[in-house]
Every structure is written in structure tokens, then in C-alpha cells.
Structure 1
Amino acid sequence: MSKYTYILTLLFSASLFAQHAPAKKQTKSILILNGTAHLGNGKIIDNSAIGFKDGKLTLVADASLIRLATGAYDETIDATGKHIYPGFIAPNSTLGLVEIDAVKSSDDQSEIGEMNPNVRSLIAYNAESKVIETVRPNGILMAQITPRGGTISGTSSIVQLDSWSYQDGVIKENDGIHLNFPSIYNSSGWWAEPGSASLNKDYAKEINEIRTFLSNAKAYQLATANERNLVFESTKGLFDGTQTLFLHADHELQIIDGIKMAKEIGISKVVIVGGFEAYKCAELLKSNSIGVLLRRVHDMPEFDDQDVNLPYKMAKMLTEKGIVVGLENSGDMERMNTRNLPFLAGTCAAYGLDKEQALQLITSNTAQLLGIDSFCGTLEQGKDATLFISEGDALDMRTNKLSKAYIQGRLLSLENHQSKLNDIYKEKYNQK
């Protein structure tokens, strides 16, 4: 047996004894008392009373200002000294689409071809992915499952991260279509040895191809066709306002050209994904009510003359301009690094935002940009009871330690194969 095969065997064996069935539906009402509740909308309740029943929040109040009848809730949890948060949301994620990068049969994140709006990531989503179990202990309880590749990658859907299957997990199906806008530059080399960059001479041509495709798709919706075109049919939501165009673009000119094209074609709902230079066109974004899902902020600037701290400051710069900002984590090792999403927000707090504004980047703001803010993203009566209790500040990796987590009122297991291995080796070396 090779060393590589041996390691894979160990990991597979570890995953077997860490398997957990999804939590059962909430049957007992629960009241969490005396914790510091971070509502996700910028507000804090220092001594809170958070109650939920049948998967929905029924009480969000200051514990000192209410009087509850004896037995009003079946179970009471004392959260004194602890913090309560709405579940974090990971947008533009490939969780459940790839298990092991080196194993081709476990990689289902992209499709052949350039224009694939009809490709639905949801049906490829593996709810039993072992990676998913490793992100929940840091508070990530929902994700937008997004395809990759091509010019139009396909259609994303939003799931909660504790289910038997994609049918059980979906909370918003086919929420948007993802367009990778043409790059201005052609780069050579790789991240460790970057090469020279040259202008993309086909930039205008590639934009025109996208414009033509979307214009034909719109015309198809308005006409009576003799034959069905399933590819064009899948774009209907872009033109009737039920779906969002997620425009993946980083540079100023890309963002401006992408917005201009979308407006010309008649697409009303647009969100920028990446947006490294979105701060340069903030007024355009604001005037068109377009939000930004900022690319991973734990990164370096793109150009030598940029402030080395620019990625950390961008959330504050856009927020000050009145732009709705969320955070996404695509890139190298993105699935396992999803667990670091809270700490991306923490870095934004260290570079200008206050903690509650930073929290909004991965809760209410992201929920708004994904169109799910009516039922999640904040701790408010009537919304889903998707929340967790942390021993400390959930945006700080030193104190983010969950004691309980709930999705739609269901108590989750926070164990996974990594925590099991941690326990095993602590025991081996007699660490407490």
C-alpha cells in the first residue's frame, strides 16, 4: 500500500465513525436566557431572552423587561457570559460539490461548455459531504451552492447545512445565475511565480457574445417558439425579476461594463461577486442598488502600487458609501477554508468596521443579497430559529467556540471526523 493510499484509508476510516444523522425536527420549545444576543442587524441585547418553537423564533427580547409565565417553554438554557448569533451564511460556495480535489469522481462543480444557465448546482449537491461537518462548528449553517467554469456557470441554490439530501436541505431553489465577466487582462505564471500581464484583445468581442446570448434568451421569453430551448428557458427569472444575476467581476471596467450590459438587456437584479475594485465605482453601484459579495479579504493587493491592507479595508470603504456588502470565500482550498468565514469578518472589524457591522457581512447583508432575508439572517420573531451559542466572540478565532447550534430549531451535532481525531490524539498524549 502506498503512503498516499494509506493516508486516504485513514481519512476514510475516520469519516466512518464521525457520521451523524441530521438532527430531528424540533419538538420541545426552547428558551435561551441571559446571553448577549447579536441580532445581525447592528443591534445587541446584553441580557437577552431568545425563544423558539416549531423551528421559528417566538421571542427576541431583553430578559429584564419581560415576565414569562412558568412553563412557557419546555427547556431553558442559561447562556450567562455567552454570545448568541444568527447562523452565518457562506455565499458563492462549492460545499458539497467537491469532496477530494484529487479524486475526479468526487468533483462535480463545473460543466462542459461556455453558456450553461440551465446547469443547476443543487442536484449535484452532496448533503453528506464530510467537509460540511467541519464548517458548522464555526457557525456556518447556510450556504449558496454555486457552480464554476465557463462564461455562464449555471444556476445556484441556497441550502441549510444539516440534511439527508439536497431536497431536504434547500431553502431557496434556483436563486440566481452566475456570469463570469470577461477579464481585461491575460495573465501568465501562477500565484507563487506570477508572470507578465497583457490586455485581453478579445475583451469587446467576448462581451458582445454574452450580450447576444442574453438578448436572444430574452427574445425567446417574449416569443412563441416552435421548439423548446431549455437553455434559454432557464434564464426566464433574470427577466421577470425572480432571479439575480451574480456578476463575477473584479476590476473597475469589468464592473462598469457588466452593469451597463445588464441594464441594456433589462436585467433588474444584479449582485457583484468579487468586486476587488468595486470601491472605485461605488456611486454607480449605489445609484443602481447593486450590492457586492467581496472576494476573500485574506489576500494580497493585485498591483504593486496598492495599499497592502487594501483587501482588509474594502468592506469599510464600500459600507461608508452606502453599499450592501457581504463576504465570500472562493479561491484556493475554498471548501475547507469556509470555516474561516467568521474570521474574514473579524478582519474587516479590525480594519474599520465596528463588530456589529462586520457581523452583518455574513448574516443580514448576505441574506439580503441572496434574497432570503425575509426568513433568516437576523434574530427576529417569526424568522427561522437558525442560530448558535458561542463561548466568546464568534468573529475571533481565539474565542469562537460553539456550545450549541440550531438550524430551524433542530439541535445540531458539532462533532466531525477532525474533532474525533483531535480527541483521539489528545488521549494518546494525555492532554486535557
Structure 2
Amino acid sequence: MSDTRKRPAPPAWLLGSVLISCTAAGILSTDLYAPTLPHLPEIFGVTEAEAQLTMTVNLAAFGLAILFWGPVAERFGRRVTLLVGVSGFLASTLLCAFAWSFEALLWGRALQGITASAQSVVVVLIIRETYDRVTALRLMGVYGFALGLAPAVGPLIGGHLFVWLGWRAPFVALAIFLAVALRACWRVAPETGTPQLDALDPVLILDDYMGLLAKRRFLRVAAPLAATSGALFAYLIEGPFLFIDTFGLPTESFGVWHALIVIAYMLGALTATALARLVGPERLTPAGLTLTTGGAVALTAMLTLFGATSLETVVFCLSIFAVGLGLAFAAGTPLALEEAGDRPAGVASALLGASQLAAAALGGATVSFLHDGSSWPMAMAMLVWTGLGAWAWIGLGPPRPRDDEEIERSR
């Protein structure tokens, strides 16, 4: 382990490629699988609500487990945690690929969420601890852009794999991808932290998490990012049903329309990279949050004022949301870790990810409960969640300084 820590930092492009491959697998576990989701009722003889549970359980497991991986990364180091997480993710994906019943698939999806969450914690830490502030922000932008390719091509590939080879094929393809990513991670990923022997002390863990929850500056960034995740997963859960069942898209064509939204997300992430040296994350983050809220408002307004229910209208409004999402996440993630102050970075990264996944699970559960085959449940869920994010950014902002006259009156 000591030799690994002495290893010089790899070039940004090389390290970024390896970390992207590890994290992209987590995104592909949802997006390769998404086109299969509407067909699960026929395959396993379950209801639509039970089929959607495979997505919700995955998100819930991810969100809970991520709180565990933060202290583990502080105790054993970033590299070991990353390798264990990717290895476990590979094993759970094979369980999904060879699931013999719906219950086995459900367990596999839960285990995928538990193991994939390790990458979500460690990757951000390695980037932040390896490079300076501007380079880290630029790499996060490129990172977000590259990760956008996974949901862009994932449903397209997953849809064709399902049509050509059956529902197990997307999981087999993901397992092969994970095996390659694990090998690359073993060869390249550095150790950027110093293991803390007391990091798994339950009292200290609780104190660190409670301390972060008391930090107004940290919450001001973390809460809006979590809220936008709730809005995002309202779309990810409802989108396949809306596009395929309501608008009549062929399963293999779902990825084409979904890719337009993902390209918009990638544009937002690239914008953060381009502006990294000119505009700080303190200004880029609220700009992104404004666009996410604007996209949700536009979708609701189109439905309310014009009764627009066409696929083109829905995708246009979702693309506005996606541009803001890419901008907010690229700038907001390193900003939130900065605002954690003296609290352990691993714990801060874990809490940031857990809050996002908890909101994502709630967003998905909400739209599943309201599902009626129309665009309304998704639009209202996205409007509520982005509104909560805007409220958190404004409400948790620094209090307005009082002038001399106000101070005198208060006396």
C-alpha cells in the first residue's frame, strides 16, 4: 500500500479515463437496463409497479450504502475502497445476468446499488485531492461530459441488446465492461488519502455527519444538488413508460430521443469546463440551478397553457433542465466539498451522494405512485423538486448584512 501512495499522479487525461470507466458502469447499470423495464411484467409475470421497484430498490440501496463507503475510504484509503467497490459491482451484475426469478433480480439490483456507491464517493475525492481547484473543476466538467455518453448510448445499446439477445444481454455486456474497468483501475488508480485508524469509530462518524448537517454553507450547495437529483429520477423512472407506452416509440428507438436530453446535459458540463478559469463555481452553480428550474417550469407551462403533449415538446423542456443539470453538478460537487471545511472529505462526499440518491429514490417513488400514463406526474414531480432546490439555495444563503440604521433600531 505504501508503494501505491508514493506513485506519482497520472496525467489528468489518463486518470480521468479510468475513473470515468469505473463510474460510467454505475450509470450504465440503469441506462442499459431502462429499455427492458417496460417488458418485465411480461417476462416475470409482475405488475408495472413491481417492475419499477427494481429501479427504486437500486437507488435506495445506493443512497444508504454510500454513507458507509465514506468512512471506509477514510479508514482504508481511496484506492482500496475503489477496487473493492468495482469488484463487488461486477459480482452483483453477474447475479442480475443469471437471475432465475424476479426476486433474484431484485436482490441483484439492490447489491448493484450497494457496491456501485463506492465509486461515487471515491472518484470525486481522487480528482479533488490530486489536482488544484481550477484543474479539478475543468476535469469535473470533462468528467460530466464523458459520463453523459453513458446515458446517451446506454438505452440505445440496451434496447438493441434486448431485442436481439433477450433481457439478460444488457447485464452480460455490463459485466464485460466492468471487468475491463477493474483491470484499468488496478493499474492506474493512485492512493490520494492518508488512512485514518479511527475513521470507523461510530461516535466519530456520527459527529462528522452531524457536523456537516450543521454547516449552512455545505447545505446550501448539497440540498439543491439533491433536489435536482429528485427531479432527474422522476424523468428516468417515468420516461421509458411515457416514451414507449404513451408516445408509441419502439423500444430500440427510446435511446435516440433520450440521447438528445443527455447531449444537453453534456453541453452544460462542457460549459462548466470552458468557464472554469473565468467564472468560479460559486456563480456557475446557481446558474445551473436556474436552468433546471426553468426547464421544469417550461414543461408545466406548456402542458397548462397550451395543452402540449407531443414528444418533441417534452424533450425540448427536458433538454433545458439537462443543460442546467450538467452545469450545476460539474460546479457544485467540488464547491460542496470545499464548503465542508475541516470535516473529513470522504464523509462529505458520502453525505453529498447519499442526499442525492435519497432524493432520487423519493423522486422516482413519487412519480411511480402518481403514474397515470400522461406527462403530468413527471412534470409536477420535476417542478416540485427543482422548486425545493431553488428555495434551499436562496433560503440557506448568507444573511443580508444590516446597515447602521437597522442596527440602531434593534437596540
Shorter-chain TM band: under 0.3
- Give the helix-richer structure, 1 or 2: 2
Q: Greater CA radius of gyration, 1 or 2? A: 1
TM-score if structure 1 supplies the norm length?
Answer: 0.22
- TM-score, with normalisation over the residues of structure 2? 0.23
